[in-house]
Amino acid sequence: MINVLLQSITGEVFVSLAFCFGLVVGSFLNVVILRLPKQLYAQWKQQSQEFLDIPHSADNGPTETLLWPPSRCPKCEIAIKPWHNIPVLSYLLLKGRCPNCSTSISIQYPLVELFTGIVVAVTAHHYSGQVDVVYAVFFTLLLIALAGIDAKEKLLPDQITLPLLWVGLIANLNGFFVPASEAIIGAVAGYLALWSVYWVFKLITGKEGMGYGDFKLLAALGAWLGWQMLPLVILLSSAVGAVVGIIIIMMSGKDRNLQIPFGPFLAAAGWIALIWGDKIMSNYSSAFSVL
Ligand SMILES: [Zn+2]
């Protein structure tokens, strides 16, 4: 049924629809990136207080959920009207300012919307006419949320990494992207690869080089892409991470202990591997067979 529906829509229309869908979902991802960590911190605080028998502090009032309250200006708290909530367009029309108090609106909002629109459109173009497109877009959206949260809060919530892992395994139960056996080995190998790096680094330097969220994210990428893609994902993310890390350290002075989250690089490498991984791998092996 979905198959017939997908095939009946022509390529360009499908990609344009995917772009618009991406813009709207990008708007929701902004809310997830902003609110999910806040909710988690409030929960952890409450649980810690209960565990330590400390009376709840007054600021543990009703926390916001992903759907409530509706978006509002952080300064004057006026509710944002629906026509001020059109992805990217509203930001441009309002010239990046709150219509009530003129506080500037973070450029993060239109950027995440536009970025999500483009990335979803590329994914839809690549998987155009296949049922896999639903899974591939799901994978893409969860990676954007994880990258955004990790970049802002240095946190990869289980609430996103674990569903990503399970859905990857389910998708490959039917061999959508790779055979089930490669997905299962990929999940285990992905976790263990970074887990070993973590412990070697910790035993040598006494410091924690990354978090458990990174292990779970690479496990999820292994579940989606199969174990064969893991070297490419690690290579890509480390190379880009190192370059960006050096630039950030150079720009921010010489603070070598500056923590740069690894999640956004893993997420980007995982997405690139989903779309172009096979091409990169075959070019790579043919380059070697020429030598
Ligand atoms: Zn305002």
pLDDT in tens, 157-186: 999 999 999 999 999 998 999 999 999 999
Single residue among 118, 153, 179 that ends a domain in this structure = 118
Q: Are 116 and 22 in contact (CB under 8 A)?
A: yes
137, 276: one domain: yes
Distance of CA 212 to the CA centre of its chain: 16
- Note the pLDDT of residue 62: 59
User: How many independent structural domains does the chain possess?
Assistant: 2
pTM of the model: 0.91
Q: Distance between CA 212 and CA 13 in Å, rounded? A: 41
Q: Distance between CA 137 and CA 128 in Å, rounded? A: 11
Give residue 291's pLDDT band: very low, low, confident or very high (50, 70, 90).
low
Cα-to-centroid distance, 70 and ligand 1 (Å): 14
Q: Are 222 and 189 in contact (CB under 8 A)?
A: yes
61, 138: one domain: no
DSSP three-state, residue 30: helix
Cα-to-centroid distance, 80 and ligand 1 (Å): 9
Cα-to-centroid distance, 65 and ligand 1 (Å): 21
pLDDT at 63 over 70: no
In a 13 Å sphere around the CA of 183, the CA atoms on its Cβ side amount to: 20
70, 171: one domain: no
Cα-to-centroid distance, 76 and ligand 1 (Å): 4
DSSP three-state, residue 104: strand
Residue 89: how many other CB atoms lie within 10 Å:
14
231, 156: one domain: yes
Single residue among 93, 118, 143 that ends a domain in this structure = 118
Q: Are 27 and 71 in contact (CB under 8 A)?
A: no
Cα-to-centroid distance, 30 and ligand 1 (Å): 18
